Amino acid sequence: MTAGGRCPAFGSGSAGVARVSSARGCRSAMAAPRENVSLLFKLYCLAVMTLVAAAYTIALRYTRTTDTELYFSTTAVCITEVIKLLLSVGLLAKETGSLGKFKASLSENVLGSPKELMKLSVPSLVYAVQNNMAFLALSNLDAAVYQVTYQLKIPCTALCTVLMLNRTLSKLQWISVFMLCGGVTLVQWKPAQATKVVVEQNPLLGFGAIAIAVLCSGFAGVYFEKVLKSSDTSLWVRNIQMYLSGIIVTLVGAYLSDGAEIKDKGFFYGYTYYVWFVIFLASVGGLYTSVVVKYTDNIMKGFSAAAAIVLSTIASVILFGLQITLTFALGTLLVCVSIYLYGLPRQDTTSIQQGEPASKERIIGV
């Protein structure tokens, strides 16, 4: 997802659609920030993104399978939205540079834009469902199995991109999508078992939760990108609009789902340092993705996803006694390769072929 003011013809790390007449100019604008960033900074972004993704799944899995009093996942999702809102407000203040501009931006784009708040309530609701499904999935599936299966968000996002943004995928990307689905099927064929987890689990329920989560992830991500491209409004303003709606949605959801128990036991019942660590990772990870998207490319993000899967698998073996099967290993390998292939740059088709009339307008997928 991109901040306002960037070239509207291109997505953040995903496929974009542009006219040939302006494609080169947009590519130059997009390339500029990355040329000014050192390889060391890119590697730093890659390392942090990988560690956050792996640590989040492992920590969340741990908090849902320990013998301690189980906390309400719905309240954790709500607190995450509050922290994201506070962080976005701080980043907007830094972006505007002065208190006057900051107040004017909030007054114009948040307090004075009820329609925009309603528009952003759609992804807020969908993300709330997605985040709650993540807790349900990791209560019933090992972190490594979850991490691999959750990569189904790639084909789901690709499909939403084609349908909602009228973009195209290359043949290699379609091949990688089917390869990824095949890899996930292998992983789920005979799921690896965690021998050190004593709580009762329902793998079918866990897979169903992931299925809902990836559908939510694909739709909400593309919807939010479409909203970002509809105006030059700052990314942090859009985040504030979305998180305000998100707090209301998740708070209502918490009391509809666990209202009676929350009143009886308290909003923060069962919270430990590990739970707060999960909330911290979820909050920072979501915002940090914006930085990663801006300064890295699809190949680096693909490596990050594959590395997170490997780290999650190693941690699951050590912490949860995960027994790796042959089908799990083959499926995981297939998923990692497909992620890499999906992120490969497409062939540059922005130049008009010889013999083709210069005046002919063509829509191209980048």
Distance (Å, rounded) from C-alpha 206 to C-alpha 192?
Answer: 13
Q: Which helix (H) or strand (E) holds 322?
A: strand 322-323
Distance (Å, rounded) from C-alpha 121 to C-alpha 68?
Answer: 35
Q: For the chain, what percent of residues have pLDDT higher than 70?
A: 79
Q: Residues 199, 216, 161, 49: what is their CA dihedral angle, to the nearest 10 degrees?
A: -50
Give yes or no for a contact between 315 and 58, defined as CB atoms under 8 angstroms apart: yes
Confidence of residue 246 (pLDDT cuts 50, 70, 90): very high
Give the range among 3-12, 133-142, 207-216, 252-261 with minimum mean pLDDT: 3-12
| Radius of gyration of the chain, Cα coordinates, nearest whole angstrom | 21
Distance (Å, rounded) from C-alpha 351 to C-alpha 254?
Answer: 53
Confidence of residue 36 (pLDDT cuts 50, 70, 90): low
Distance (Å, rounded) from C-alpha 346 to C-alpha 133?
Answer: 34
Q: For the chain, what percent of residues have pLDDT higher than 90?
A: 30
Query: What pLDDT does residue 125 have?
Result: 93
DSSP readout, 132-164?
A: HHHHHHHHHS-HHHHHHHGGGHHHHHHHHHHHH
Confidence of residue 291 (pLDDT cuts 50, 70, 90): low
pLDDT of 273 > 80? The answer is yes
Query: What pLDDT does residue 201 have?
Result: 82
Query: What pLDDT does residue 234 have?
Result: 83
pLDDT of 28 > 80? The answer is no
**Residues β-bridged to residue 363:** 19
Phi first, then psi: give them for residue 236, nearest 5 degrees: -70, -30
Among 282, 150, 169, smallest CA distance to 217 is for 150
Query: What pLDDT does residue 128 have?
Result: 92
**Average pLDDT over every residue of 20-27:** 37
Distance (Å, rounded) from C-alpha 13 to C-alpha 344?
Answer: 11
pLDDT of 284 > 50? The answer is yes
Cα–Cα distances (Å) from 223 to 126, 171, 204, 220, in that order, read 10, 24, 29, 5
pLDDT of 3 > 60? The answer is no
**Average pLDDT over every residue of 113-124:** 88
Q: Per mean pLDDT, which of 61-75, 153-167, 177-191, 255-269 is the most reliable?
A: 255-269
pLDDT of 352 > 80? The answer is no
Cα–Cα distances (Å) from 128 to 40, 191, 216, in that order, read 35, 27, 9
Among 184, 126, 185, 129, smallest CA distance to 151 is for 184
Query: What pLDDT does residue 249 have?
Result: 93
